[in-house]
Structure 1
């Protein structure tokens, strides 16, 4: 009968290597730098790890490599639809490494943000990923002295601490509003919720495009410093129509609000796209609402994937990029707005 390892004995990296007839370095490389081993060998190693029940010893790693093997990820809200796309990208990339993720939420509170970063740093992380940072002095001071690599998912007008990846929300919003103007709309309202860097930059872009076209009117701007939701979108459209009864289009801070506007317009018997509606983020439901939602597509999955990829590469000794990574955006024309003039669309 083959020897069975006692339950108190821990399977080591060397045990996995011996079982496969390869070196421990090869097993480690398959986990840390999968692109450096063949796909066939990497899969054999992963299968053997599952079979033998190998679990990395994070405490031993922390002593040997000066980090715990955990990446701390801090976001304003973990349950927002937009952040879920980023999380999917994070999870997809990290699953092929031997690093692990610890999530935390700042709940849009600058003091909680600082507290969570301090907690991460006390645990000797391999790295820290920050999404939607509030950019306060205390937070930035912590990051400048962090003993580990830091990646920020940011609006690219900011000067980040460490590596950065993201898009320019002001440019994206301005492009969306110019698109709405090209569709023939003139009384374009703006609906917004929680005040953070991204929402402020989207409002800047809206104001820029409206000013360029000579269409600025403060009565067209309605916002409430509250978490965005479908319900809030319904309520803000009601307020907007009281302030500006002749509004003919609505640009929303995100798709949650836009879906609420669509529901409220249908409840009120308002014809869409005669009342135009544009969202932001291109969440999963946007293409399947009725009519489908015109929106701004931001590559959230790619943001998460590439942000963690940057961290993993730097943890493994590669040189960090010197410039922020701009992932861009795309205005997606669908059924909640008229097609632009001259496109030939029916």
Structure 2
């Protein structure tokens, strides 16, 4: 029976260096900046690392230097489909570097956001990417005092605490979607929003257009403090039909809610788009293949993640980088679900 390795037997960087016949600095360089070591030596070191089962001690590395190689990413949730694409973009860009990504989520709670940000900053991260934060004095003070670059993924109209920001004009995107539904003949359509700041901006854009058209009715405003899902969409449609029998559509703050409403429309015999128009947000993959296909506001989520990661890496490597705000833009993708009340 193999004896379990004790902490005293733990393989160290010095062990690897001794067996390869190089200095510990060379081994460290091969692991952190492989392009600075010759291919043959790098291969020899990596082979020895694998044979010995060496695991780098990142805590010790952080103590030995001012910063770690970690880029922290703070998200409101880990189950949102739209954010998954953003995370993929972040991972793809950072994978090309020696940096590592660590995630934390806040469940849309300010106290959790404050706690997670403080926890990351206590570990001297190389940089921090935050998204889904509601503006507050406490989070603002923490982010402004951070010793590392901080990038916020948020609406371009919102205040940035860090000077680095990437996002879209959410309120204008909602205006465009709302005008589209009015142009297609829908008049009594709801705005279904959620708990985060971006949903509030979508709601504001909807109100701008509906009030200007003289069609705003507060009974059509729905704000839900729960995670978006198709099931939520089903329940909300039933609730809306009970409250507003003459409702003729919905602008949903997420595509999965719109999909649930589409399913429920079929169950209750409400024809989409002839009797009920539906517009989503984010243009998730299923929007193009649902039946009918779903109109949605397309946000370049993957590109947004790549851009965010690229900006934070540049800020880490160039401490004097000037404040930068990048608008990645949006597109309204018109599909069958808003063809109009006379369609078909």
TM-score by length of 1: 0.84
**2:295–2:334 CA contact under 8 A, matched in 1:** yes
Residue equivalent to 2:243: 243
Aligned pair in 2 of structure 1 residues 56, 151: CA closer, same or farther (>3 Å)?
Answer: farther
Matched, 1:298 2:299: yes
Aligned pair in 2 of structure 1 residues 314, 235: CA closer, same or farther (>3 Å)?
Answer: same
Deviation at 1:223, TM superposition (A): 2.7
RMSD over aligned Cα atoms: 3.2
**Matched residue SS, 2:128:** strand
CA distance in 1 between partners of 2:316 and 2:234 (Å): 46
| Count of matched residue positions in the alignment of Structure 1 and Structure 2 | 327
Residue equivalent to 2:107: 107
Alignment of 1:83-162 (within 5 A): 83-162=83-162
Matched, 1:320 2:318: no
Residue equivalent to 1:221: 221
**Matched residue SS, 1:186:** coil
CA distance in 1 between partners of 2:63 and 2:239 (Å): 58
Aligned pair in 2 of structure 1 residues 150, 340: CA closer, same or farther (>3 Å)?
Answer: farther
Deviation at 1:46, TM superposition (A): 8.5
Deviation at 1:181, TM superposition (A): 1.4
Residue equivalent to 1:67: 67
Q: Which stretch shifts more, 138-147 or 63-72?
A: 63-72
Residue equivalent to 1:189: 190
Aligned pair in 2 of structure 1 residues 272, 249: CA closer, same or farther (>3 Å)?
Answer: same
CA distance in 2 between partners of 1:44 and 1:273 (Å): 63
**2:273–2:341 CA contact under 8 A, matched in 1:** no
CA deviation profile, 1:209-267 (whole Å, cap 9, x unmatched): 11222221222222322222111111111121222222222111111110110000010
Aligned pair in 2 of structure 1 residues 46, 256: CA closer, same or farther (>3 Å)?
Answer: farther
Gaps of 5+ in 1: 1-5, 32-36
CA deviation profile, 1:172-227 (whole Å, cap 9, x unmatched): 111111111122222221122x3220110000011111122222122222232222
CA deviation profile, 1:27-64 (whole Å, cap 9, x unmatched): 86666xxxxx9xxx999998777655486653454345
Aligned pair in 2 of structure 1 residues 334, 133: CA closer, same or farther (>3 Å)?
Answer: same
**1:221–1:240 CA contact under 8 A, matched in 2:** no
Aligned pair in 2 of structure 1 residues 43, 209: CA closer, same or farther (>3 Å)?
Answer: farther
Deviation at 1:294, TM superposition (A): 0.6
Residue equivalent to 2:282: 281
Aligned pair in 2 of structure 1 residues 48, 202: CA closer, same or farther (>3 Å)?
Answer: farther
Deviation at 1:340, TM superposition (A): 11
**2:16–2:27 CA contact under 8 A, matched in 1:** no
**Matched residue SS, 1:285:** helix
**1:14–1:24 CA contact under 8 A, matched in 2:** no
